[in-house]
Structure 1
């Protein structure tokens, strides 16, 4: 059985999928939807079909992009001939299933119920700093959304307690905006702990969305439910699965 996390803040069909209920095995065991992983392509296709069907659509309706930690958001109206490089998608077309892949980074789903516009963004620290969340909002506005009416929900992502960074990481944020120091806590020695979902919510609210929240799920701490790039790295494993988050009208 698939496990789908949802939020009452999003009043259209959506889901932050966990790794449960998939066909992958080994280090990918579960619902690995990452075509960029070394998992068997036909197994990943089965997993992605299960996701689309759980959202009431066929596999051809699921649209994803080649994510590159950019601040690029693109509008889509149907299946893409290829996978362009971008990290967010928006649509006002019913029946198009937007999807983003993550394994510690933030999956962010957006909805303006009044305008009938949705969006999905992959927002790691780099994409968030460079403005992928704001770019998604801007792209939604070009389709008729109003940012004050947009609800944005951050799904399972790495929590502050598990996100250890070095002083150079802290310096980059402080130098860009001293206010961001609030998202760091002291760790061991010169290490610090970064609050990625807190930072994401701050950026969303500063951009003027009507509502922003995090579901509260940590990808690193719950190996039974979530894939995690950082956990895989610490374990010395060769690769890792990708979680998928989806939204549609």
Structure 2
């Protein structure tokens, strides 16, 4: 049995909240997809991706197939309006960049290879979410939308803090601030709505900037009153053994960050790193 390396968030989430982020370790991929590539849209063989997804489910003993989304760097969350009606698994495969649920056994997942995966739960352990946050999603307000969905608040201004319950957030492996170079238009997009985010950008070359994606996420969360933010310590670009990186390699695989609510809160699966 293949036992891939997993990263388990080191955060004070309720016992029934299960969360992991994969590395490229393990799996059956070869070449540029070597290891545990979970992306079915990047040119890898369908058979290899299917096998890797089966390895993931078996290793983590997932309660159901993860709800693989068609991510488009947008601002839509599957299942955000209410508890998922009918079959809670019906939003798998839809076009969205995140998913939220309060249904036990439903596995929310996002794929990344430099963008920021964000996992969220409430302090009561009744609601979880997974978000794919590239710079476009961050600038468009996907974290504000996720926090609103997690708090069950409708019609709230993005600047109003969530007061109904505590939200815990974990930031997964992401391209680091020394490697993520962007054009001036990206910097201006963030400064338009938050001039103080200028601290997340450093001058690079030819009028370009190095951006701190995790730092931008932390700032946006803080503006919403969400301060219990963990993780963000792994750089995908600088660790080719452990992580896929689109900026580094171009054609490459994808990692996955998963979260779900367990029915009984038993001990989590072993063999994971803590971050």
Per the normalisation by structure 1, the TM-score is 0.90
The unaligned stretches of length 5 or more in structure 1 are: 234-238
Gapped regions of structure 2 (runs ≥ 5): 154-161, 262-275
Residue 172 of structure 2 is aligned with which of 155, 165, 176?
Answer: 155
SS at 2:225 equivalent:
coil
Structure with larger RCO (C-alpha < 8 A, sep 6+): 2
Contact 1:111–1:118 (Cα < 8 Å) also in 2: yes
Calculate the aligned-residue CA RMSD, in Å.
2.1
Q: 1:64-213 residue pairs with structure 2 within 5 A?
A: 64-75=68-79, 76=84, 78-80=88-90, 83-142=93-152, 148-213=165-230
Aligned match for 1:57, one of 33, 50, 62: 62
The separation in 2 between residues aligned to 1:148 and 1:81, in whole angstroms, is 26
**Does the 8 A contact of 1:148 with 1:208 survive in 2?**
no
CA contact (8 A) 2:68 2:92 kept: no
Bigger proportion of residues as helix: 1
Give 1:6-45 correspondences, 5 Å limit. Answer: 6-9=8-11, 10-11=13-14, 12-45=17-50
Instruction: Please give the alpha-carbon distance, in whole angstroms, between the structure 1 residues aligned to 2:119 and 2:72.
Output: 18
**Residues 176-233 of structure 1, C-alpha deviations (whole Å, 9 max, x = no match):** 3211111111223423110000001111121222511233000100011111110013
8 Å Cα contact 1:149-1:210 kept in structure 2: no
User: What is the Cα deviation at residue 25 of structure 1?
Assistant: 0.7
Partner residue in 2 for 1:245: 257
Distance 1:199 1:228, change over 3 A: same
Residue 236 (structure 1) aligns with: none
Post-superposition offset of 1:71: 1.1
Per-residue CA shift, 1:27-61, capped at 9, x if unaligned?
10011111111111121111112222233225x43
2:78 partner SS: strand
Secondary structure, aligned partner of 1:162 = coil
What SS does the aligned partner of 1:120 have?
A: strand
**8 Å Cα contact 1:90/1:140 also seen in 2:** yes
How many residues were matched structurally? 243
Q: Residues 52 and 119 (structure 1 numbering): CA distance in 2 closer, same or farther, change over 3 Å?
A: same
Q: Quick one: distance in 1 between partners of 2:109 and 2:133? A: 13
User: Is the 1:148–1:209 contact (alpha carbons within 8 Å) kept by the matching residues of 2?
Assistant: no
